[in-house]
Amino acid sequence: MRLLTLTTCFCLLFGAAKAQTYFVRLTTTKGNITIMLYDQTPAHRDNLIRLVRKGLFKDTQFNRVIKNFVSQGGELDDTILDREKLHPEIPVERLAAEIKPELFHKKGALGAGRNDNPEKSSYLDQVYLVAGTLQTDASLDALEAKKGIKFTAAQREIYKTVGGTPRLDQDYTIFGEIIEGMEVADEINNVPTDKNDHPLSTVDFKISILSQKESRHYLKH
Protein backbone atom coordinates (compact mmCIF):
# COMPACT_ATOMS: atom_id res chain seq x y z
CA MET A 1 0.00 0.00 0.00
CA ARG A 2 2.82 2.39 0.92
CA LEU A 3 4.60 1.57 -2.35
CA LEU A 4 1.40 2.23 -4.26
CA THR A 5 0.94 5.57 -2.49
CA LEU A 6 4.51 6.65 -3.21
CA THR A 7 4.15 5.59 -6.82
CA THR A 8 0.90 7.53 -7.14
CA CYS A 9 2.49 10.65 -5.62
CA PHE A 10 5.46 10.36 -7.97
CA CYS A 11 3.16 10.08 -10.98
CA LEU A 12 1.16 13.09 -9.87
CA LEU A 13 4.28 15.16 -9.29
CA PHE A 14 5.79 14.07 -12.59
CA GLY A 15 2.54 14.88 -14.39
CA ALA A 16 2.34 18.30 -12.76
CA ALA A 17 5.93 19.12 -13.71
CA LYS A 18 5.36 17.91 -17.23
CA ALA A 19 2.17 19.95 -17.54
CA GLN A 20 3.71 23.21 -16.29
CA THR A 21 2.80 26.17 -18.46
CA TYR A 22 5.45 28.89 -18.59
CA PHE A 23 4.78 32.60 -18.31
CA VAL A 24 7.40 35.27 -18.94
CA ARG A 25 7.47 38.98 -18.26
CA LEU A 26 8.93 41.60 -20.55
CA THR A 27 10.05 44.52 -18.41
CA THR A 28 10.34 47.41 -20.86
CA THR A 29 11.02 51.12 -20.66
CA LYS A 30 7.30 51.58 -21.45
CA GLY A 31 5.94 49.17 -18.83
CA ASN A 32 5.49 45.43 -18.31
CA ILE A 33 4.09 42.79 -20.64
CA THR A 34 3.17 39.28 -19.46
CA ILE A 35 3.23 36.46 -22.01
CA MET A 36 2.02 32.87 -21.84
CA LEU A 37 4.22 30.46 -23.81
CA TYR A 38 2.38 27.77 -25.75
CA ASP A 39 2.90 24.12 -24.86
CA GLN A 40 2.13 23.22 -28.50
CA THR A 41 5.51 24.67 -29.52
CA PRO A 42 7.86 23.01 -27.00
CA ALA A 43 11.14 23.63 -28.84
CA HIS A 44 10.55 27.38 -29.09
CA ARG A 45 9.19 27.54 -25.53
CA ASP A 46 12.17 25.66 -24.10
CA ASN A 47 14.65 27.64 -26.18
CA LEU A 48 13.36 30.95 -24.82
CA ILE A 49 13.36 29.65 -21.24
CA ARG A 50 16.94 28.39 -21.69
CA LEU A 51 18.18 31.70 -23.12
CA VAL A 52 16.46 33.71 -20.38
CA ARG A 53 18.10 31.53 -17.72
CA LYS A 54 21.45 32.10 -19.41
CA GLY A 55 20.88 35.84 -19.17
CA LEU A 56 20.70 36.48 -22.90
CA PHE A 57 17.59 38.66 -22.64
CA LYS A 58 18.76 40.73 -19.66
CA ASP A 59 19.59 43.79 -21.72
CA THR A 60 18.13 43.93 -25.21
CA GLN A 61 16.04 46.26 -27.33
CA PHE A 62 13.11 46.50 -29.68
CA ASN A 63 15.15 47.30 -32.77
CA ARG A 64 12.56 47.03 -35.56
CA VAL A 65 9.13 48.55 -35.07
CA ILE A 66 6.60 48.75 -37.88
CA LYS A 67 3.34 50.40 -36.88
CA ASN A 68 0.29 48.16 -37.25
CA PHE A 69 2.55 45.23 -38.15
CA VAL A 70 5.08 43.98 -35.57
CA SER A 71 7.51 45.09 -32.86
CA GLN A 72 10.69 43.01 -33.10
CA GLY A 73 13.45 42.60 -30.54
CA GLY A 74 16.60 40.60 -29.93
CA GLU A 75 19.47 40.13 -32.34
CA LEU A 76 19.21 41.96 -35.67
CA ASP A 77 18.96 40.08 -38.97
CA ASP A 78 22.02 41.92 -40.32
CA THR A 79 24.15 40.97 -37.32
CA ILE A 80 23.24 37.30 -37.66
CA LEU A 81 23.75 37.19 -41.42
CA ASP A 82 27.05 39.12 -41.23
CA ARG A 83 28.33 36.60 -38.68
CA GLU A 84 27.28 33.77 -40.97
CA LYS A 85 29.13 35.36 -43.92
CA LEU A 86 32.24 36.01 -41.84
CA HIS A 87 32.37 32.44 -40.55
CA PRO A 88 30.61 30.25 -43.14
CA GLU A 89 32.21 27.20 -41.54
CA ILE A 90 30.13 27.87 -38.41
CA PRO A 91 26.49 27.94 -39.51
CA VAL A 92 24.11 29.97 -37.37
CA GLU A 93 22.02 27.63 -35.28
CA ARG A 94 18.30 27.75 -36.02
CA LEU A 95 15.18 26.16 -34.60
CA ALA A 96 13.05 23.88 -36.74
CA ALA A 97 9.69 25.51 -37.47
CA GLU A 98 6.76 24.60 -35.21
CA ILE A 99 4.01 26.07 -37.35
CA LYS A 100 0.53 25.02 -36.21
CA PRO A 101 -2.67 26.08 -37.99
CA GLU A 102 -4.36 26.79 -34.66
CA LEU A 103 -1.60 29.23 -33.61
CA PHE A 104 -2.01 32.37 -35.67
CA HIS A 105 -0.90 35.99 -35.93
CA LYS A 106 -3.64 37.62 -33.89
CA LYS A 107 -2.83 40.89 -32.16
CA GLY A 108 -0.63 40.18 -29.14
CA ALA A 109 0.85 36.93 -30.45
CA LEU A 110 4.54 36.19 -29.83
CA GLY A 111 6.47 35.03 -32.87
CA ALA A 112 9.99 33.87 -33.69
CA GLY A 113 11.93 35.88 -36.24
CA ARG A 114 13.80 34.30 -39.13
CA ASN A 115 15.43 35.03 -42.44
CA ASP A 116 14.11 33.80 -45.78
CA ASN A 117 14.77 30.05 -45.75
CA PRO A 118 12.76 27.18 -47.26
CA GLU A 119 12.47 25.31 -43.96
CA LYS A 120 11.00 28.41 -42.25
CA SER A 121 13.35 27.72 -39.35
CA SER A 122 13.63 30.39 -36.66
CA TYR A 123 16.49 32.38 -35.21
CA LEU A 124 17.18 31.43 -31.60
CA ASP A 125 17.22 34.93 -30.14
CA GLN A 126 14.86 37.09 -32.19
CA VAL A 127 11.22 37.57 -31.18
CA TYR A 128 8.37 39.80 -32.24
CA LEU A 129 5.00 40.94 -30.92
CA VAL A 130 2.16 41.12 -33.43
CA ALA A 131 0.31 44.43 -33.71
CA GLY A 132 -1.57 44.25 -36.99
CA THR A 133 -4.87 45.75 -38.07
CA LEU A 134 -8.52 44.77 -38.18
CA GLN A 135 -9.37 42.47 -41.08
CA THR A 136 -12.48 41.91 -43.18
CA ASP A 137 -13.98 38.75 -44.63
CA ALA A 138 -12.90 39.99 -48.05
CA SER A 139 -9.26 40.44 -47.00
CA LEU A 140 -9.22 37.02 -45.33
CA ASP A 141 -10.84 35.41 -48.38
CA ALA A 142 -8.12 36.93 -50.57
CA LEU A 143 -5.39 35.58 -48.30
CA GLU A 144 -6.92 32.11 -48.31
CA ALA A 145 -6.90 32.11 -52.10
CA LYS A 146 -3.37 33.49 -52.33
CA LYS A 147 -1.73 31.29 -49.69
CA GLY A 148 -3.84 28.16 -49.91
CA ILE A 149 -4.74 28.25 -46.22
CA LYS A 150 -8.05 28.17 -44.39
CA PHE A 151 -9.09 30.35 -41.47
CA THR A 152 -11.52 28.90 -38.95
CA ALA A 153 -14.67 30.81 -38.00
CA ALA A 154 -13.09 31.61 -34.62
CA GLN A 155 -9.90 32.92 -36.23
CA ARG A 156 -11.92 35.09 -38.61
CA GLU A 157 -13.85 36.57 -35.71
CA ILE A 158 -10.65 37.44 -33.85
CA TYR A 159 -9.05 38.96 -36.93
CA LYS A 160 -12.18 41.06 -37.55
CA THR A 161 -12.68 42.22 -33.95
CA VAL A 162 -9.19 42.21 -32.40
CA GLY A 163 -6.92 42.39 -35.42
CA GLY A 164 -3.59 40.91 -36.38
CA THR A 165 -1.27 40.16 -39.28
CA PRO A 166 -2.74 37.13 -41.06
CA ARG A 167 -0.44 37.39 -44.07
CA LEU A 168 2.32 35.92 -41.87
CA ASP A 169 0.26 32.84 -40.96
CA GLN A 170 1.81 29.47 -41.79
CA ASP A 171 5.16 31.14 -42.54
CA TYR A 172 6.47 31.96 -39.05
CA THR A 173 6.27 30.11 -35.74
CA ILE A 174 3.90 31.60 -33.18
CA PHE A 175 4.74 30.35 -29.68
CA GLY A 176 2.96 32.55 -27.15
CA GLU A 177 0.56 35.44 -26.55
CA ILE A 178 0.22 38.53 -24.41
CA ILE A 179 -2.14 38.04 -21.48
CA GLU A 180 -1.40 41.31 -19.69
CA GLY A 181 0.06 44.61 -20.84
CA MET A 182 -1.40 44.93 -24.33
CA GLU A 183 -1.52 48.69 -23.86
CA VAL A 184 2.25 48.64 -23.33
CA ALA A 185 2.74 46.66 -26.53
CA ASP A 186 0.55 49.21 -28.34
CA GLU A 187 2.67 52.07 -27.03
CA ILE A 188 5.86 50.35 -28.20
CA ASN A 189 4.37 49.75 -31.65
CA ASN A 190 3.59 53.45 -31.96
CA VAL A 191 7.02 54.89 -31.12
CA PRO A 192 8.58 57.16 -33.77
CA THR A 193 11.08 55.37 -36.02
CA ASP A 194 13.60 56.22 -38.72
CA LYS A 195 13.43 55.09 -42.35
CA ASN A 196 14.91 51.71 -41.34
CA ASP A 197 12.17 51.10 -38.74
CA HIS A 198 14.59 51.64 -35.84
CA PRO A 199 13.01 53.48 -32.87
CA LEU A 200 14.36 57.03 -32.55
CA SER A 201 14.49 56.56 -28.77
CA THR A 202 15.76 53.28 -27.35
CA VAL A 203 13.09 50.87 -26.11
CA ASP A 204 14.93 48.46 -23.81
CA PHE A 205 13.51 45.26 -22.41
CA LYS A 206 14.51 42.24 -20.38
CA ILE A 207 12.71 38.93 -20.05
CA SER A 208 12.19 37.07 -16.79
CA ILE A 209 10.42 33.80 -16.01
CA LEU A 210 7.45 34.00 -13.67
CA SER A 211 7.52 31.77 -10.62
CA GLN A 212 5.00 28.95 -10.32
CA LYS A 213 3.17 31.01 -7.69
CA GLU A 214 2.90 33.98 -10.05
CA SER A 215 1.90 31.67 -12.91
CA ARG A 216 -0.96 30.16 -10.89
CA HIS A 217 -2.50 33.63 -10.68
CA TYR A 218 -2.82 33.74 -14.47
CA LEU A 219 -3.90 30.11 -14.80
CA LYS A 220 -6.91 30.86 -12.58
CA HIS A 221 -8.17 33.53 -14.96
- Spatial CB neighbours of 89, under 8 Å, sequence gap ≥ 6: none
Q: Which domain holds residue 154?
A: 21-219
Could you give the CA distance from residue 52 to residue 50 in angstroms, rounded to a whole number? 5
What CATH number is associated with residue 45? Answer: 2.40.100.10
Could you give the CA distance from residue 157 to residue 141 in angstroms, rounded to a whole number? 13
pLDDT band at 84 (very low <50, low <70, confident <90, very high): low
Q: What is the pLDDT of residues 40-69, one digit of tens each?
A: 999 999 999 999 999 999 989 999 999 999
Q: What is the pLDDT of residues 129-145, one digit of tens each?
A: 999 999 999 999 999 99
10 lies in some domain: no
50 lies in some domain: yes
13 lies in some domain: no
4 lies in some domain: no
Q: What is the pLDDT of residue 218?
A: 87
123: helix, strand or coil: strand
11 lies in some domain: no
1 lies in some domain: no
Instruction: Count up the domains in the chain and report the number.
Output: 1
pLDDT band at 216 (very low <50, low <70, confident <90, very high): confident
Model confidence at 11: pLDDT above 60: no
